[in-house]
Amino acid sequence: MQRGAIGVLFAQSQDRLVLSAVVLALALASTEPSSAVEDAAPPTISSQEVAGCGVAPGRVAIGFDKDLDEEAIQIAKGSDPLNDKVLTCLAEASVRSDMLVLFEDAALETRYRDIYWPMVQQRQHDMAVRWLTEHDLIKGLPQPAEGRPLDDYARAVESHCGIGLGTMLKAQGTDVVTLDPAAMTDPAIGGRVECVMHVVAAATPPGAVMLGFTGNGVGGPAEPLER
């Protein structure tokens, strides 16, 4: 699978932000040969780019985050305020790359995610629609229906991708469906995971349904990264 955008589902827990699930790893719909995309180094965000958005260099740490198990940018607390223009600049840089931006300040994290998350949802939606169109899977695309159980939508997604009903997806609440890891390793099913991921990402409006993996929740706010 080609490397793509990563969406993160945020939730509130006991008055603090936690990362509750890493929810989408979409394959990029590219006109380039897949090998060229897979071999290319993923885009990153430099400390200079973060500073260019208006963040004081002393507040920026770029390093490995053990909770996310990947490189991330952490913005420390500081006296200089970060307005919506700065947060939008950071969100745009994050969406263009594979690096997440995290804030030690919970209030800033809340403001940032309200800007960042719709960008991610729209990008994933657009990529998914393009991929489904190119693979002749856009016709008859299932959509979640208001007032209908989410489980009905999950079964429709499985059917659209040629998967046995009830073998891969499980509805969680009203807006989250999870992938069964056991089904993903089944040779008869696993090859259709990419279809499932794109169909869910193409739900309207963007972000109407979140996709997660059973047991993939991660812990609370990351510890400060070493500078």
pLDDT for res 134: 95
Whether the full predicted model's pTM is greater than 0.75, yes or no, is: no
pLDDT for res 47: 82
pLDDT for res 28: 34
Segments of the chain with pLDDT less than 70: 1-43, 190, 213-227
Task: Tell me if 124 sits within 8 A of 1, measured CB to CB.
Answer: no
pLDDT for res 214: 62
Task: Tell me if 171 sits within 8 A of 177, measured CB to CB.
Answer: yes
Per DSSP, the three-state class of 69 is coil
pLDDT for res 227: 34
pLDDT for res 198: 94
Strand ranges of the sheet holding 169-172, from the earlier edge strand across to the other edge: 169-172, 176-179, 210-213
Task: Tell me if 47 sits within 8 A of 200, measured CB to CB.
Answer: no
Helix 84-96 vs helix 106-134: crossing angle, to nearest 10? 40
* Residue 85: both structure tokens together: 């223009």
Compute the distance between CA of residue 90 and CA of residue 45 in angstroms, rounded to an integer: 9
